[in-house]
Structure 1
């Protein structure tokens, strides 16, 4: 086509008045929304963990996933690849979209079922797709998706511009200078900032805190956004003798990392929680007895959500999990109002059984047969 004057081949569509659905309303998604508003687009977004006030501030309406994909003329993807988002766009979801929708994926390749996307393109459901990411990178040269005439591809460029590279270099230099001056490095990926002796004593409790947060968030039903978390520490030590910053950071890490692509540490935990509209409160329960051990138990409650597992709900309506350290190993000791004693290692299956003889043996046999 070099040298040919083919104007008809490059006829596009106007963005003014069109509806853009931003799936994943984090830092990148919200910036895309701002720019789309400037182009005269109506912008909606889906992200169960995005603060509604942040969306309203830029004139964006938060809607359900089904509403977003059904009403959009354009769909822009900005979510992490997690078990919940893996192949989120598939044959079933493509069938719910407007005919002629256009899709941009600059998130992760696995959020789209690529074979289903080819079928949707061939069927005319998807008019065009622009892809910067793929489930296999680099994709095979004979890939039907890459070769499709209505697909524009780039080699996972991300923010690959001269200005961005210069900006990253400056940010790194400033962070190093700040650290050398003794300042907190806000972009540090591993900065415990806790005395070595305290860290050694808290180590098993740090692991317990993260695992309780991770377990609690996995009990939240998919459509529920986690906004309010209460953490209770039961200890014989006086509050001044127990620094919970690291424990709170690890609970935050356990809650946020399974549902996002953000890496959480002691430095950025509070900031990351605030950005996601997550409010974490702490309670100290002072116990009688010798304060040899720093903690007796940690309890994590998530309020105002629905649960995948009804028995995980407390009598007051929150998801509740509790644990303690036994012989240096984190143990789960309570789920909802049920007392348990399970080592928090490997995979855990939660199931509510009929109270009759033989059920434990039956469940055990099924698990054994399925290996």
Structure 2
């Protein structure tokens, strides 16, 4: 009998030497699992993933399309057990190698603990993975995959259906006539031809909505500062700024992910800038709209109508004031609910799960790439630096043609064959994409995700003289062909440029544009470009102190004395708008920007 290949994946527990524990904890933060060739005798410290001759067992916890089930059954033993309680799931999971769920089953830390290390893959039949504990999955060496593409057309079609139904009062008129009424004059609608539709979020679904809306004779523009302008132009759509989008729209269709940056992005202040009588469609995520602000906008007439497929709480309470509002058309999260989409999702997730069980790397994996322990141990502080530089750089982008071209430079005394930068590249991609997306980026899906978003990342190596003991001297990230919120971050060649290095094991920002700085990259930063003169540090410090904002470090880099300088301030709390306004009013300060890292 042939030898059975196997892989040892360390669990994150106290059995490891203390010198390695801080490095291993990175897996929960970055979705990086660690492999090692060392042999340990403590079997509780490891999960053994063996390529066995016996068929694996796949537990399907929610209904899945027949095409997907057939694919699974051709490879594994399939157990379809629906409507299980959490206790029943925890009991059954120890007998399963893979688990497939939709949105209704919560895959908690207890599920992974109850699996006893046998569970290797969790497949989410859909896009969102809010119901899966990713940190626990990574800690237990379990890969999580999803099915992000199969329901794109269904979601776009539902968006258009809500758009037209809202414009012509279809739902309200239907309810009226079924109640025995005949109210033709009450339900006079509006035409779509010639009206301006703003698509907010120009990803896969948003671009498909735009195509269909143009076919209806609408003028379509889009807001997405990170979408490639050439992709928009290819279908006749112009990318505009946020303010231009909300002020010119007759109709708004939301297709952005729910992230900290987009949470309640449509609020009272934004509604006040819209044209009176605008109409709003949301088939993206509940929480993007401030519900109370939307009710006020409906009552005042700023928003004439809204069509909602998603809600902050699902299902919404029976007395939800938006659902019962006559100006609102509501559906119970039906965006992906077509026969074709359900079959497509079933096939996509079945292929991903089977591939993962075969040991193939799935492009739709959202966690746990396998990185050699020695590589992770050496590069751990640079992993942190790489993601922070990506996050910092993308927050400096103001718009323009969208983030399309990023150049990453690695300076090292090591030759290219002695320095594996794949993990660093993935973490830079993570930093660039995650702040403005719901996508989880890791070593497995980084290049795929960047390609899907039209983001081209090129690497450059600078070989330095010196000792190869230190893997890297510095990392530099440049974003080309974009406008910047902070002109001081622009290099001599016109790109946004940030540079950093590791000092005493901690990531430091060492250059912004042409200006040298030296600050730890942590918490939040304020960058100020100013005339180099006495008293500026004191003035800014006083303003922050009066606002009860604690300053943890401050650094000034300048071109020459009494010329221009960049002051970098690390703060523990986010300053309020009044404090930021007062900083901007200091005559010597030419510009400033607040960044969350």
**Scaled by the length of structure 2, what TM-score is found?**
0.57
Larger Rg: 2
1:293 counterpart (452, 458, 470): 470
The answer to whether the Cα contact below 8 Å between 1:49 and 1:277 also exists between their aligned partners in 2 is no
Measure the CA separation in 2 of the matches of 1:341 and 1:214: 17
The answer to whether the aligner puts 1:4 opposite 2:174 as a matched pair is no
Map of 2:451 onto structure 1: 274
Map of 1:251 onto structure 2: 428
Measure the CA separation in 2 of the matches of 1:23 and 1:357: 45
The answer to whether the Cα contact below 8 Å between 2:399 and 2:482 also exists between their aligned partners in 1 is no
The answer to whether the Cα contact below 8 Å between 2:241 and 2:399 also exists between their aligned partners in 1 is no
Q: Deviations over 1:224-264 (max 9, x none)?
A: 62222111100011111112222111111101111222222
- SS of the residue corresponding to residue 350 of structure 1 reads strand
The answer to whether the aligner puts 1:335 opposite 2:535 as a matched pair is no
Q: Deviations over 1:93-121 (max 9, x none)?
A: 44554443321012234433433332332
2:524 counterpart (321, 329, 347): 347
TM-fit CA distance, 1:364: 3.3
Map of 1:168 onto structure 2: 345
Measure the CA separation in 1 of the matches of 2:510 and 2:392: 13
* Stretch moving more, 122-131 or 200-209: 122-131
Aligned residue pairs, count: 371
The answer to whether the Cα contact below 8 Å between 2:201 and 2:255 also exists between their aligned partners in 1 is yes
Distance 1:310-1:37 versus aligned 2 partners, 3 A rule = closer
Map of 1:65 onto structure 2: 242
1:226 counterpart (377, 398, 403): 403
RMSD: 2.7
2:392 counterpart (207, 212, 215): 215
Map of 2:569 onto structure 1: none
Map of 1:284 onto structure 2: 461
TM-fit CA distance, 1:209: 0.6
The answer to whether the Cα contact below 8 Å between 1:121 and 1:150 also exists between their aligned partners in 2 is yes
Measure the CA separation in 1 of the matches of 2:199 and 2:536: 46
The answer to whether the Cα contact below 8 Å between 1:133 and 1:156 also exists between their aligned partners in 2 is yes
Q: Deviations over 1:159-201 (max 9, x none)?
A: 2445434433322221122223333211111243433322222
Map of 1:303 onto structure 2: 480
Measure the CA separation in 1 of the matches of 2:436 and 2:292: 25
The answer to whether the aligner puts 1:104 opposite 2:275 as a matched pair is no
Map of 2:590 onto structure 1: none
Map of 1:117 onto structure 2: 294
The answer to whether the Cα contact below 8 Å between 2:229 and 2:401 also exists between their aligned partners in 1 is no
The answer to whether the Cα contact below 8 Å between 1:192 and 1:246 also exists between their aligned partners in 2 is no
Measure the CA separation in 1 of the matches of 2:401 and 2:239: 13
- SS of the residue corresponding to residue 300 of structure 1 reads strand
Measure the CA separation in 1 of the matches of 2:260 and 2:367: 25
**Scaled by the length of structure 1, what TM-score is found?**
0.88
TM-fit CA distance, 1:54: 1.9
Measure the CA separation in 2 of the matches of 1:53 and 1:221: 18
Measure the CA separation in 1 of the matches of 2:531 and 2:227: 38
Segments of 5+ residues of structure 1 without an aligned counterpart are none
The answer to whether the aligner puts 1:364 opposite 2:532 as a matched pair is no
Measure the CA separation in 2 of the matches of 1:94 and 1:353: 35
The answer to whether the Cα contact below 8 Å between 2:488 and 2:529 also exists between their aligned partners in 1 is yes
Measure the CA separation in 2 of the matches of 1:59 and 1:363: 46
Segments of 5+ residues of structure 2 without an aligned counterpart are 1-175, 550-597
Map of 2:74 onto structure 1: none
- SS of the residue corresponding to residue 323 of structure 2 reads helix
* Stretch moving more, 77-86 or 203-212: 77-86
Within 5 A, what are the aligned runs for 1:85-164? 85-135=262-312, 139=316, 141-164=318-341
TM-fit CA distance, 1:269: 1.8
Measure the CA separation in 1 of the matches of 2:530 and 2:219: 49
